[in-house]
Chains A and B, each alone.
Chain A
Amino acid sequence: MHYTLLFYESPEEFARRTDPEQREAYLAGWTHYVRALREAGIVVASAGLYPPETAASLKRVKGETLVQDGPITSAKEQLGGLFVIDVPDQDTALEWASRGPTDAVEVRQNLPPTK
């Protein structure tokens, strides 16, 4: 079954991506995790995202289309990347979520693909 792991990052975690002193450790955290996922042969799709302040968000309010800078929600933790993995059940998906480098992960089952 396909599950999507949504990795949320705090502003501090996003800042580590560009901090010259922390960048390497930040990347290393992902490199090893990604390799473990790939070695397990369960990766269906993946995407790492640029930070939320680079986003452009589109919203329709009462029929009017608005485009704004930044993410849709103003929550502290923002989506930083995602993996779609093929595992037998939700417990296994959660186990993989616990191994990731971020402190907040949302796990959702994917709908079956439309024909």
Chain B
Amino acid sequence: MIDVHRAIEQAARDSYGRLIAFLAVRRGDVAAFEDALSDAFVSALETWPLTGVPNKPEAWLLTAARRRLIDGDRRARVRADAAPALLALAEEAQQAVSSGFEFPDERLQMLFLCAHPSIDPAIHTPLMLQTVLGIDAARIASAFLVKPSAMGQRLSRAKAKIRGERLTFEMPGADELPQRLDPVLEAIYAAYGSGWDDAAGADPRRNGLTEEAICLARLLARSLPEEPEPHGLLALLLHCEARRAARRDRSGEYVPLSEQDPALWSRPLIEEAEQHLRLAAQAGRIGRFQLEAAIQSAHAQRIQGFDTEWEAIALLYEGLVHLAPTIGTLVGRAAAVAEARGPEAGLALLEEIPTDSVKSYQPYWAVAAHFQSLANRLEEAREAYGLAIGLCADPAVKKFLIRQSRQLGEDWF
């Protein structure tokens, strides 16, 4: 049952992240050790499946990294003048590793640093994925549809800024925590991408980094157990992840949420999600991600054989619109209202959204097309399906939308 390879990779990522955090926090520099350590990380991924995860994984990685620094390996792109200081720091880390105590976990500080207000929000997520999980820039670039060399440059610039402006690695104080926590949550959520799926077949993006996003969300929730929103975010991601197997049928075709077979959903993931939602509720402070998770939790009730409570979902969206009136939220609310009170009620809400903001927003057109066709507004539905298909980046969803639009008649293009 346990995927050995995945467990090893997880162990390597955990140790890598802890080491980078330890070194970066003490030196005020994220990039200094990264090259030496990322080579050590790669050799860990090659070696550990054969030898097993070492007793002290951080010590293993550190030894491999130090060897490279001492050898002055020409391939190692470590700045020569930095090597002595790095070695001294490595010594300190080595002592921490061998002290017998658990190696300090300062990854939470790294999460806050990556989402620091002085760093461009667009690079928060890639920076987290690289420095905390050791994901390489090329993979991050593909997930974000960015030219790999451009992504590499943006990451280097952000790290140079951390070093140059001596951005603080300190944890924000209690009064500052809520504002500083928001961008951290946002960045982790962005790594998952839109987990949003619905009757109309909206565009699921950022495939391939979902496990990594969950990994970050777990880390955050574990590090700040008293804060409700990290639990809310984790619950949201786990609910979405629980449906992964049901989202495609055997021939790889897209299956919208309403047609998914709940028997294919992962019960353990749903239960874990519910547990975190309960933990979040204990704080008595509602937030955006708790509401998003509650919406997914309502959908998950189908696994118990209950019908979807659309009126309750619409109400949750109402709360969400007050907290975070994003285009995605507005479209989600309209879809829920259409399910609860009929297509015209939902379409009226869709029409309230300013046209300019949705012109190239695929989910808007997918949802509009679905409910226009239910409302028998066929001409508009054809138009909207056309745009939803033309804007769709996922071939399986595209095929699904083409099938849906075909049902409107043959003269549709």
Which chain A residues have a beta carbon within 8 Å of chain B's beta carbons? 25, 27-29, 31-37, 39-40, 90-91, 94-95, 98-99
Contact = CB atoms under 8 A, between A and B. Distances in A.
Contact of A25 (B145, B360, B402): B402
A90 to B, nearest CB: 6
A91 B150 CA distance: 9
Given A99-B391, A99-B393, A27 B145 contact: no
Main secondary structure of the interface of A (DSSP, over half): helix
A98 B145 contact: yes
A36 B389 CA distance: 8
Given A40-B359, A94-B145, A94-B146, A31 B393 contact: no
Interface string B101-131: 0000000000000000000000000000000
Given A36-B391, A99-B392, A94 B386 contact: no
Closest 7 CB pairs of A and B: A36-B390, A32-B390, A32-B389, A98-B393, A33-B390, A94-B145, A32-B386
Contacts of A32: 386-387, 389-390, 413
Contacts of B393: 95, 98-99
A28 B147 CA distance: 29
- Residue of B389, B390, B413 most packed against chain A (CB within 10 A): B390
Contact of B413 (A31, A36, A37, A95): A31
Given A28-B413, A40-B359, A99-B392, A90 B150 contact: yes
Interface in B354-401: 359-360, 386-387, 389-393, 398
25 contacts: A27-B413, A28-B389, A28-B413, A29-B398, A31-B413, A32-B386, A32-B389, A33-B389, A33-B390, A34-B390, A35-B390, A36-B386, A36-B387, A36-B391, A39-B387, A40-B360, A90-B147, A90-B150, A91-B146, A94-B145, A95-B145, A95-B393, A99-B390, A99-B392, A99-B393
Contacts of A29: 398
Interface size class of B (residues with CB under 8 A): 10 to 19
Interface in B306-327: none
A34 B386 CA distance: 10
B253 to A, nearest CB: 15
Contacts of B387: 32, 35-36, 39
Nearest to A30: B390
Contacts of B147: 90, 94
A91 B145 CA distance: 7
A31 to B, nearest CB: 5
Interface in B128-159: 145-147, 150
Contacts of B146: 90-91, 94
A39 B388 CA distance: 12
B247 to A, nearest CB: 19
Contacts of A37: 390
A89 to B, nearest CB: 9
Contacts of A39: 359, 387
Contacts of A98: 145, 393
Nearest to B383: A35
Nearest to B402: A28
Given A91-B145, A95-B145, 4 more contacts: A28-B389, A39-B359, A40-B359, A99-B392
Contacts of A95: 145, 393
Nearest to B385: A32
